[in-house]
Amino acid sequence: MALDRQGRSELDRARTHQRDTNPAKGSFDYSKYRDKDVKQRLEAIFHGKCAYCETLYDASGPMDVEHFRPKGGVAGEVHPGYWWLAAAWENLLPSCIDCNRKREQRIVEMRESLTDLQLESRRTGAATASGKHDSFPLNHGGIRASTEACDLTSERPLLLNPCVDDPAEHLVFSIDAGKPALVSAQFDASGAPSARGLASIHLFGLNRLGLVQNRTRTLRQMQFMGEAILDLSGLADDLRDIVIADAIEARRMRMVVDQLEALKDRMLAELKGMTRPEAQYSTMATAWLAAFKDRIRVPGPVV
């Protein structure tokens, strides 16, 4: 870690700043988390995607280096912020500006249909503020850490941490044909929605209009390819069952069937590629492919 002329690290200087009781001391300027090499490593680890919504930065704008535990204060509380984690690697995540910054967004409701979604760009409905910013709510029974010596494991964060939590345990995507690709809270064994899922959807704005439209386009693409695969599979089966006496014509028919099977395999490979970590919205794509694989007979596993 780079040191200043007095041999102090940024964390050392932040500690000194926090001990200073002068009310006129101002705010501390954290900068190490913005270093170019930090951004490059975060982009590589998360494949150029927002850690929260999985949108590729090229599609949404510049990357923000986001602090899972906010460094400068906590919304709704008198708290100094988790200043000692301002440059801690485990507290840094790449985020799109819409998930990280508090902005006015049009939130798509669960009751809206795909037709409604297609008309959203013409509407002027009330906007809702979303974006994490300095929010960091705790689950029931969590104990807020306020100093460097506190135990973070006692906090029980209400927000999902992409590096620690499995989103599938708390979030579920709408993948039905004709519906927008919305995300909702997963239900537990007792039938209650995940509180962490609900909080994350709300604060990250995971159902904001632009994001839902992008996810829906990806979902429609997968559904189109899925239906084409089923059609190709059915056509290949029908042709394979045709009995042709002439050897030359039978060979030609087998070639046609083989071409159909090859095309089907190529489309299956394309669908599988959409579930890889580097693909945009791969979590939703994985859920869709898991449901789709039961509808088609393929030699070996799809995922």
Quick: pLDDT tens for 67-85: 999 999 999 999 999 999 9
Contact status, residue 212 vs residue 181, Cβ threshold 8 Å: yes
Residue 88, both tokens: 């801690």
Tens of pLDDT, residues 128-154: 888 999 999 999 999 999 999 999 999
Contact status, residue 129 vs residue 106, Cβ threshold 8 Å: no
Contact status, residue 43 vs residue 107, Cβ threshold 8 Å: no
Q: To the nearest 10°, the Cα dihedral for 37, 38, 42, 45?
A: 60
CA angle 280, 63, 78 (to 5 degrees): 115
Most distant pair of Cα atoms in the chain: their distance = 97
Contact status, residue 233 vs residue 78, Cβ threshold 8 Å: no
What's the predicted TM-score (pTM) here? Answer: 0.87
Q: Which residues pair with 257 in a beta bridge?
A: none
Contact status, residue 80 vs residue 146, Cβ threshold 8 Å: yes
Q: How far apart are CA 132 and CA 102, in angstroms?
A: 6
Q: How far apart are CA 253 and CA 244, in angstroms?
A: 9
Q: How far apart are CA 167 and CA 161, in angstroms?
A: 9
Banded pLDDT at 3 (limits 50, 70, 90):
low
Residue boundaries of the structural domains of the chain: 217-295
Contact status, residue 241 vs residue 269, Cβ threshold 8 Å: no
What DSSP string runs through 80-132?
---GGGTT-GGGEEEEEHHHHS-EEE-BPPTT--HHHHHHGGG--PPPEEE--
| Percent of the chain residues topping a pLDDT of 70 | 91
Give me the pLDDT at residue 303, please.
47
Tens of pLDDT, residues 267-278: 999 999 999 999
The SS3 of residue 18 is helix
